[in-house]
Amino acid sequence: MINVLFAAGSDRWAQYEAPLSDAFVRAGLDVRLMVKTDTPASIDYIVYAPNGPLSDFTPFTGLKAVLNLWAGVENVVGNPTLSVPLCRMVDPSLTDGMVEWVTGHVLRHHLGMDTHIHGQDGIWRAGTAPPLAKDRRVVVLGLGELGAACAQSLARVKFQVHGWSRSQKSIDGVMCYSGEGGLKAALCIADILVLLLPLTAETENILNREMLALLPQAAVILNPGRGALIEDEALLDALNDGGIAHATLDVFREEPLPPDHPYWAHPRVTVTPHIASETRVGSASQVIADNIRRGQAGLPFLHVVDRKAGY
């Protein structure tokens, strides 16, 4: 019998209890799934979410792995009481959602959709045909599970896609950069910039005043990564002086974004409430069951976080 503790919040328990149980059965696993325990030493695996009830892993002396329901791990990766492998969520449906959000919002700005959606005023705006995607440069910072999938989707629409990551990548249809020099080279050509980096000590404020200044005049920024990747004051200044044409922001230092935050009222900012993509219950349950099956079979876990790198 494998003991699995669901420590990802009571609201999610209602969503996950049945799909997780089904996935364990399908994976051939004999699991006792519970939402609380009086015998933490007997727990083999914890299904985890950073805003759940658990922050001290010390009593879980028999733990084999923690399976995060989120792709981002910045709130748990530095937990000093956690010494077993931490697996982040890589869910094909989460990836699909991000590809759709990024592709949709890139196309909104590329096609200048707002001009006509908000321009139903009797004025015939001739001469506003958009350029072709092949003449627009999109840069994706972060070429992991999500960034690489988004970059490939944009390349299929024929955008000129460039991407940047810590290690050098080779992705069909995407010009790949790495290193600090690579970041500057990529920013200099970004008509549309998409941030899909994790939040780590190295990436915090990566889009600071100096880096924002490298972007071409009237560039557009999409941030579905993490709020703290951007230096907010520098972005607001760049939006105010017209250097940046628009920022579509899904994630923020403080969430929910406070009602009086200047982003809400700014005419060049679109706020979306951290909905770019989410873990989907059915596919995520399968991913978790598969990882537990691997652990029980003595195979390496998938998607293990590099604690030193922070993601």
Alpha-carbon distance of 144 to 147, in angstroms, equals 5
CB 195 within 8 A of CB 223: yes
Alpha-carbon distance of 200 to 55, in angstroms, equals 19
Least Å distance, CB 275 to ligand NAP, is: 6
Is residue 9 near ligand NAP by the rule CB under 6 A?
no
Q: Closer to ligand NAP by CB, 150 or 220: give it.
A: 150
Residues 137-156 vs ligand NAP: string with x where CB under 6 A? -----xxxxxx---------
Q: Closer to ligand NAP by CB, 178 or 296: give it.
A: 178
Residues 270-289 vs ligand NAP: string with x where CB under 6 A? ----x-xx------------
Q: Closer to ligand NAP by CB, 19 or 144: give it.
A: 144
Q: How far is CA 195 from the centre of its chain?
A: 9
Is the peptide bond preceding residue 53 cis, with omega within 30 degrees of 0?
A: no
Is residue 91 near ligand NAP by the rule CB under 6 A?
no
Give the number of other Cβ atoms within 10 Å of residue 88's Cβ: 23
Contacts of ligand NAP in 48-77 (CB under 6 A): 71-72
Tokens representing residue 177 in the block: 């950069």
Q: Closer to ligand NAP by CB, 44 or 74: give it.
A: 74
**Residue among 203, 196, 201, 202 nearest 169 (CA):** 196
Least Å distance, CB 286 to ligand NAP, is: 17
Alpha-carbon distance of 151 to 69, in angstroms, equals 24
Tell me which stretch binds ligand NAP (CB under 6 A): 2-10, 16-24, 32-40, 165-173: 165-173
